[in-house]
Structures are given as C-alpha cells and as structure tokens.
C-alpha cells in the first residue's frame, strides 16, 4: 500500500479512501465495486486514488487470488472519468500525469474478472478492457465516445480495443463514438459471455472460485504470458512462454499438483 493508503479493517482488508469505491474479500476473491450509481459510476480523482491503493494491496496480499470488478446500480458499469472534473487541471502536463485508475488495474498481476452490468463508456470501457475475463449483462452497452467531445481515450483504449475486437471494429468505435450492444460485443470478442443481469455477479463469483482453486503462481504466469505474447514476435513469445513454464514447474505448487494428480485428490496450493 502507498503511504496515503487507507487503514485496514478488522478483517485485514483496507478501508477504501473513497466512499464511492467498495471493497470486499470473499475467500480468495477481492470484489471491487464502483459505487456512484447516481452519476453512472463516473470516476472522480478521489475514486481513482482509491482504485490505485486497492490495486496495490491486491497485488501484495497473498490471500487475494482473483479480483472481480463491477459497478453499483442498474444502469452503469462505469461512464468513464467525471468530465466535470477534467477542467480543474492547471496545465495539459498536469492532465497527462494525473493518477490513472486504468494503469493501476492493468498492472495487476492477479487475474481480473469484469462484470459489466450496464454502460461501459469511455474510461469505463477502458476499465473493462484492462480485465482478463469480461462478462456482460444482456443490457450492457459499450462505447468510446471521446471523439464526439474532441479528444480520444488515453487509458489504453486503442491498444486494448484493437486487441479484443480487431483493428476495423476498434476504428469503427473510436472514430464514430457510437455505442454497441452486448450481443455485438460478444460477437466481436470484447466479452466472453452475455448473461441476464440478475445472473451476472453470480457467474463472476463462480469463475473466480474456480480460478482461485488453481495454483496461483501458474495463474499469474498465464496472465503474464498472455500479456507478453500480445507484444512480442511469435518466436520470442514462445521462448518466453517456455521460460515461464520452467519457473512454474519448479515451484512447490507444481510439485503438489503432480502429487495430487497421482493420488487422485484435489491439490492444496500455497503460492510457493
């Protein structure tokens, strides 16, 4: 945690420094909820700082094996940064170097499951795209509307969206700013599953529980490898994968996995 991070609760998890960011630890799953539904969960600077603090805690706490990220309310996952706060930056350089919640989430080593329960617009779409597995309610919509206001996304929009949906679909979204529905997001590969809204969080918890049972070092290596493979030539990516495989194979958890397989029992993994 950073020096200005919130104190921990009796349960050993940090108290969010923003009332608009909720944190729950359910077993090995940290559930982060954007909690400003009256403003479509638009992110303020205070919320951004809290997200950075929580991301740092989740990275460092061995109890956390999976993160779920969702939004409060019936309308929105996140409508991006609160536009009314953007004019407060004294200079463009201050704006460029602002605390960025997308950066913090993208740097999480633990897997992130995003449950998109409504609008995912602008920075909200970028926030969703930082996740590893994305689920959507059948009422969710997705957009990169910044171009309509005279700028573009700055939290990884182009890179993440092109990787998920392909360059042509990414161009369509970022150049028109128009929204797509959940069925289109599924067809384009932006999300893995579309569910009724009332089933969304339960499915996210189910996936998180499954992943939490897996050896955590291997899961984190899988995430690191996927991210690296997207940025390397194929031959280099394969060599990197082989190196990560070797490191994971040498862990106590991998030894436990082989013994559990031989003994036909569930492995008990301790991130060692």
Give residue for tokens 């996995």. Answer: 257
Count the domains in the chain: 2
Across the beta sheet with 29-34, the strand order is 21-26, 29-34, 66-71, 112-116, 133-137, 193-195
**Can you give the pLDDT at residue 205?**
98
The answer on 259 and 200 residing in a single domain is: no
Does any domain span residue 249? yes
The answer on 68 and 39 residing in a single domain is: yes
Query: For residue range 128-186, what is the model confidence (pLDDT) as tens digits?
Result: 999 999 999 999 999 999 999 898 888 889 999 999 999 999 999 999 999 999 999 99
Does any domain span residue 147? yes
Phi, psi of 51 (to 5 degrees): -65, -40
The answer on 110 and 98 residing in a single domain is: yes
User: Which domain covers residue 259, as residue numbers?
Assistant: 216-263
Helix 157-165, helix 167-176: angle, nearest 10: 130
Query: For residue range 37-94, what is the model confidence (pLDDT) as tens digits?
Result: 999 999 998 999 999 999 999 999 999 999 999 999 999 999 988 767 666 766 777 7
The answer on 228 and 100 residing in a single domain is: no
CATH of the domain at 140: 3.90.226.10
What's the mean pLDDT in 24-42?
Answer: 96
- Structure token digits, residue 151: 């700028």
């Amino acid at each position: 945690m950073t020096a200005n991070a919130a104190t921990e609760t009796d349960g050993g998890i940090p108290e969010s420094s923003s009332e608009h960011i909720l944190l729950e630890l359910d077993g090995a799953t940290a559930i982060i909820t954007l909690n400003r539904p009256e403003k479509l969960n638009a992110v303020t600077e205070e919320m951004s700082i809290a997200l950075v603090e929580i991301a740092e805690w989740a990275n460092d706490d061995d109890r956390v094996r999976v993160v779920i990220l969702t939004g409060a309310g019936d309308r929105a996952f996140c409508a991006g940064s609160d536009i009314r706060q953007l004019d407060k930056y004294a200079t463009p350089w201050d704006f460029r170097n602002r605390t960025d919640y997308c950066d913090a989430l993208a740097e999480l080593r633990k897997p992130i499951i995003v449950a998109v329960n409504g609008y995912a617009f602008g920075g909200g779409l970028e926030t969703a795209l930082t996740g590893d597995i994305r689920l959507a309610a059948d009422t969710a919509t997705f957009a990169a509307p910044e171009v309509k206001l005279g700028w573009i996304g700055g939290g990884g929009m182009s890179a993440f969206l092109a990787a998920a949906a392909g360059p042509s679909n990414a161009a369509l979204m970022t150049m028109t700013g128009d929204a797509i529905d959940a069925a289109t997001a599924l067809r384009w590969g932006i999300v893995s599953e579309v569910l009724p809204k009332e089933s969304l969080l339960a499915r996210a918890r189910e996936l998180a529980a499954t992943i939490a049972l897996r050896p955590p070092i291997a899961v984190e290596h899988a995430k690191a490898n996927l991210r690296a493979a997207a940025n390397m030539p194929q031959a280099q990516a394969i060599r990197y994968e082989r190196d990560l495989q070797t490191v994971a194979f040498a862990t106590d958890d991998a030894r436990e996995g082989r013994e559990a397989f031989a003994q036909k029992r569930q492995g008990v993994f301790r991130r060692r």
